[in-house]
């Protein structure tokens, strides 16, 4: 059985590389790579792309002083290692010509084919567009690239090859630019490589980025690794021998190798554990490659009989693969001299997939079912990008969603039927609901985790069984945006709220306009479409709904719109004074998005109220005695008469300040009294004692109306230790 004893990176001898240029010569690096898997006619089509690229970049130099053509050829070499098809290699060679030369995407399509042109278009940055700042431009470029990737995953495989070569040659740039590109890599590109299962590429990008973002830390850790090698060489050799002998005794055929963890991986562990390098013992990891899946578990048992496993350090990614398709058994053992020993056990096909990820489809031309499943999972993830994009969020919001979804730490949870969902660490039950389906998230009212009811903001943990309880009339709560973390959940909640707000504003605007039309003795149903079309044209708007929304937001006055509508209609005379005959607008209490209850006076049904149209915000409801009305000189034309709709079933928050004797058990008595009055306590806090026998307690309770509030106050007054109860209207 072979074993790899030499694991020192510094001891590896650099093999002599074939020449890079001219790329179309028989002994060039790219030619040798392409001949491994492509036909002669395909290779010839690639040389056509190379010659066009070389001609287009003629005279251009890289920061290193090399001819620019060395970059696209190097990118093509990296892409060829993944055995990408001819169109992808052509795109790799041409990926900068649209940005940096006069050649257009249309010319590429004419000279090659639509597929190559589409790939090059997806790889090209947005040009000739002005942005407010560099951050917006960068975010919009990411969005363009990732949406192109959602149409064709080869776009990102070539882009990652491009990024890897840029990172390998970063030393020739200014320090500020190096740090920016390295940070961009660690924020977006290396997580994407990880998400697509491109493990080797991910590790190299991470290490290169760490080297440039934290050069001193990199040098310190690298120096410490080199110093520790001599001391640990004997221990590592012994562990390799022990593993080999134990597997042989169990008659398990295996390849055993040791590898040194890279500097960025050790740095992450130091940060996570808040320890120094000297306290990180497991800088070496061991890999066992066996013949089939059964042998994985047999090997695990053999190693657990060799060294004691560390509790809580075993992970079975074979039974439950990672979202990127990765499969392996992970265990950590107590090795000789108390050294922790990390071991990964997998089959050869699992190992290939771990290194190549979604690129395994091209690299091995396999029909393996697991690769097909991985492609389906990747397509689902890419589809999520489109779902996020369907929201009218800007590019920075889209990038924020994406970064969360790329977060490498994941938890694995189950539906009641046993289906597995992978979610980012820190996800809540609402994130899970939206992962199941948008409709499930939008109608969620309660949740059970492991058969127990928990709050909707509860964080989920690996192994949780989650059941979402829905209701037909339920809708998303804006407060959910304070705790959900997945891009899909945030996007869908915002989409719903914007839609609901739009619908509510249209309804409110329609009510306000109809009210004004009745004052002009015009039946709203009598206004024909042609009159509306003329009004929409005059206002330079797109639809009737936009007109109604502008009325609700106070951007247009309902009386003026009614006046203009009726003036368009033939034979109708109007006077502006008729606006005094406007009817009262009924407030149902359910127009959450279009009607706002003023925070200065906290009106509830039963309170005399007035409505003020705040330009851009909609209708704000105040009580008649609200101090804001007296304090500010508000435009009287924006006030409208409003009244509560009877029998509203909505609950409203009311603040109560209670002065009570400072005795044991009083809080419990008051809570019981509020509960007896069929109310719920939303918040309670005690003001700091002034040393007297009395204390002020502030309650926020839920009430239906003033009558319900009166019942609560009567219930509280039965407690003889209460001295005073005051409804707090003005926010402090």
Catalytic residues: 99-100
Alpha-carbon torsion (214, 215, 216, 218), positive or negative: positive
Residue 116: count other Cβ atoms within 10 Å of its Cβ: 23
Name beta bridge partners: 255. 289
482 burial level (CB within 10 Å; 0-12, 13-18, 19+): exposed
Q: Give the SS3 label for residue 641.
A: strand
Instruction: State the SS3 of 571-613.
Output: CCCCCHHHHHHCCCEEECCCCCCCEEECCCCCCCCCCCEEEEE
The separation between CA 595 and the C-alpha centre of its own chain, rounded to angstroms, equals 30
Angle (deg, nearest 10), helices 40-56 and 86-94 = 10
Length of the chain: 732
Q: Which residues contact 434 (CB under 8 A, 6 or more apart)?
A: 440, 441, 484, 486, 488, 489, 492, 493
CA distances (Å), origin 584, targets 305, 309, 376, 613? 82, 75, 57, 14
Q: Could you tell me which residues come within 8 angstroms of residue 56 by beta carbon, excluding any fewer than 6 positions away? A: 97, 100, 101, 102, 103
Residues contacting 646, CB < 8 A, separation 6+: none
Q: What share of the chain is helix, strand, coil (3-state, %, to 5)?
A: 50, 15, 30
Q: Are 500 and 592 in contact (CB under 8 A)?
A: yes
Query: Residues 654, 701: contact at Cβ < 8 Å?
Result: yes
Q: How far apart are CA 603 and CA 706, in angstroms?
A: 10
How far is CA 494 from its chain centroid? 13
Residue owning tokens 């707090």: 728
Degrees, nearest 5: CA angle 720-726-732: 140
| 502 Cβ contact list (under 8 Å, min separation 6) | 545, 549, 593
């Amino acid at each position: 059985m072979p074993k790899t004893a030499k694991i020192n990176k510094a001891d590896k001898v650099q093999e002599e590389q074939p020449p890079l240029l001219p790329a179309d010569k028989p002994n060039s690096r790219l030619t040798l790579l392409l001949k491994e898997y492509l036909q002669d006619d395909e290779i010839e089509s690639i040389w056509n792309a190379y010659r066009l690229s070389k001609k287009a970049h003629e005279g251009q130099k890289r920061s290193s002083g090399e001819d620019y053509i060395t970059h696209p050829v190097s990118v093509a070499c990296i892409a060829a290692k993944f055995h990408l098809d001819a169109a992808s290699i052509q795109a790799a060679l041409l990926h900068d010509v649209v940005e940096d030369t006069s050649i257009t995407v249309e010319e590429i399509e004419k000279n090659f084919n639509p597929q190559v042109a589409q790939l090059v278009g997806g790889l090209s940055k947005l040009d000739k567009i002005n942005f407010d700042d560099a951050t917006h431009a960068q975010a919009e470029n990411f969005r363009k690239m990732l949406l192109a990737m959602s149409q064709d995953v080869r776009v990102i495989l070539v882009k990652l090859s491009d990024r890897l070569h840029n990172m390998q040659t970063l030393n020739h740039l200014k320090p500020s630019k190096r740090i920016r590109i390295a940070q961009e890599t660690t924020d977006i590109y290396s997580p994407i490589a990880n998400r697509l299962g491109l493990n080797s590429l991910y590790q190299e990008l991470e290490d290169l980025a760490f080297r440039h973002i934290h050069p001193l830390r990199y040098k310190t850790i690298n120096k410490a690794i080199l110093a520790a090698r001599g001391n640990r060489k004997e221990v590592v050799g012994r562990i390799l021998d022990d593993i080999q002998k134990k597997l042989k005794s169990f008659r398990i055929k295996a390849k055993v190798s040791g590898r040194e963890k890279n500097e960025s991986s050790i740095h992450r562990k130091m940060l996570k554990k808040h320890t120094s390098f000297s306290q990180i013992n497991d800088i070496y990891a061991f890999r066992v490659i066996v013949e089939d899946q059964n042998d994985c578990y047999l090997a695990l048992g053999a190693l657990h009989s060799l060294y004691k496993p560390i509790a809580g350090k075993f992970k079975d990614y074979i039974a439950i693969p990672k979202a990127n398709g990765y499969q392996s058994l992970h265990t950590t053992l107590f090795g000789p001299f108390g050294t922790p020993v990390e071991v990964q056990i997998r089959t050869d096909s699992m190992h290939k997939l771990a290194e190549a990820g979604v690129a395994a489809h091209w690299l091995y031309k396999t029909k393996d079912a697991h690769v097909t499943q991985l492609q389906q999972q990747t397509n689902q993830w890419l589809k999520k990008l489109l779902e996020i994009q369907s929201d009218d969020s800007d590019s920075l919001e889209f990038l924020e969603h994406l970064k969360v979804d790329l977060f490498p730490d994941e938890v694995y949870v189950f539906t009641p039927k046993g289906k597995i969902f992978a979610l980012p660490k820190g996800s809540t039950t609402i994130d899970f609901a939206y992962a199941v389906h948008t409709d499930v998230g939008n109608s969620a009212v309660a949740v059970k985790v492991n058969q127990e009811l928990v709050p909707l903001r509860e964080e989920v943990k690996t192994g949780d069984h989650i059941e979402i309880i829905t209701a037909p009339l339920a809708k998303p709560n804006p407060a959910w945006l304070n705790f959900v973390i997945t891009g899909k959940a945030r996007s869908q909640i915002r989409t719903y709220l914007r839609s609901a707000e739009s619908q509510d504003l249209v309804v409110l605007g329609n009510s306000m306009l109809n009210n004004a039309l009745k004052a002009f003795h015009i039946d709203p149903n009598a206004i024909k479409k042609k009159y509306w079309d003329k009004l929409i044209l005059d206002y330079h708007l797109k639809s009737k709904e936009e007109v109604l929304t502008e009325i609700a937001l106070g951007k247009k006055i309902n009386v003026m719109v009614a006046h203009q509508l009726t003036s368009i209609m033939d034979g109708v005379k109007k006077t502006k004074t008729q606006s005094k005959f406007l009817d009262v607008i009924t407030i149902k209490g359910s127009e959450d998005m279009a009607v706002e209850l003023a925070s200065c006076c906290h009106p509830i049904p039963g309170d005399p109220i007035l409505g003020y149209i705040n330009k851009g915000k909609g209708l704000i409801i105040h009580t008649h005695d609200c101090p804001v009305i007296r304090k500010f000189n508000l435009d009287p034309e924006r006030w409208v008469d409003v009244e509560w709709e009877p029998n509203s079933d909505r609950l409203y928050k009311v603040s109560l300040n209670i002065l009570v004797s400072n005795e044991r058990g009083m809080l419990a008595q008051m809570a019981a009294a509020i509960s007896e009055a069929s109310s719920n306590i939303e918040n309670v806090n005690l003001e700091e004692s002034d040393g007297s026998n009395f204390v002020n307690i502030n309650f926020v309770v839920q009430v239906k109306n003033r009558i319900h509030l009166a019942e609560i106050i009567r219930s509280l007054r039965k407690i003889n230790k209460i001295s005073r109860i005051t409804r707090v209207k003005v926010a402090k």
